[in-house]
Amino acid sequence: MVSLRIGTILLFFIIITTPITAERVFFSDGTLYSSSLSKDEILERFEEYPKTGSVIVFHDTICETCEDAMKYLGDFEKKYPEIDIEYYDLHLNTTNKLMFEDYMKEYKQKNLMAPTAFIGPAGLEGVESIKLLFEPFTLLYNE
């Protein structure tokens, strides 16, 4: 009985301390990326997107995956210093959290986690999505 309780407690701590990685690629109309979406359809979304402006990145200073994303983004900025990227730290910052919620609503998404980047008509959630698609999407957006 005691060993079952200890095992349950250990399992609980493993579950709550294991990082949950969320990876999502989505578009401003609320659709999620799927392999059925062609390259031409993605290009069309960028061509038709009416807004211009900065790339927006939400992160959290105490998030390990955010640290990885920020290192990648730092390298990206060295390579493309002309591209405007705005960073918003969510850690203990109510204003930035409310702004993040506004972006989620605008892009018709719920429960996004940091790091998340909003690049024109596209959004990237998670460090792997950012490492894979941030550069091509940002270059498309800034053409």
Q: What is the CATH classification number for the domain harbouring 85?
A: 3.40.30.10
Name the DSSP letter for residue 22: -
Q: Please indicate whether residue 17 or residue 137 has the higher confidence score (pLDDT).
A: 137
Assess if residue 31 is contained within a domain.
Answer: yes
Torsional sign, CA 112, 118, 134, 82: negative
Assess if residue 15 is contained within a domain.
Answer: no
Assess if residue 4 is contained within a domain.
Answer: no
Assess if residue 8 is contained within a domain.
Answer: no
Assess if residue 5 is contained within a domain.
Answer: no
Distance CA(83)–CA(20), nearest Å, equals: 30
Assess if residue 101 is contained within a domain.
Answer: yes
Assess if residue 14 is contained within a domain.
Answer: no
Give the mean pLDDT of 117-130: 97
Calculate what percentage of the chain has a pLDDT beyond 70. 85
Q: Which domain holds residue 85?
A: 22-141
Within 10 angstroms of residue 61's Cβ, the number of other Cβ atoms is: 13
The per-residue pLDDT for 143 is 86
Assess if residue 6 is contained within a domain.
Answer: no
**How do residues 93-110 score in pLDDT, each as one tens digit?**
999 999 999 999 999 999
How many domains, the chain?
1
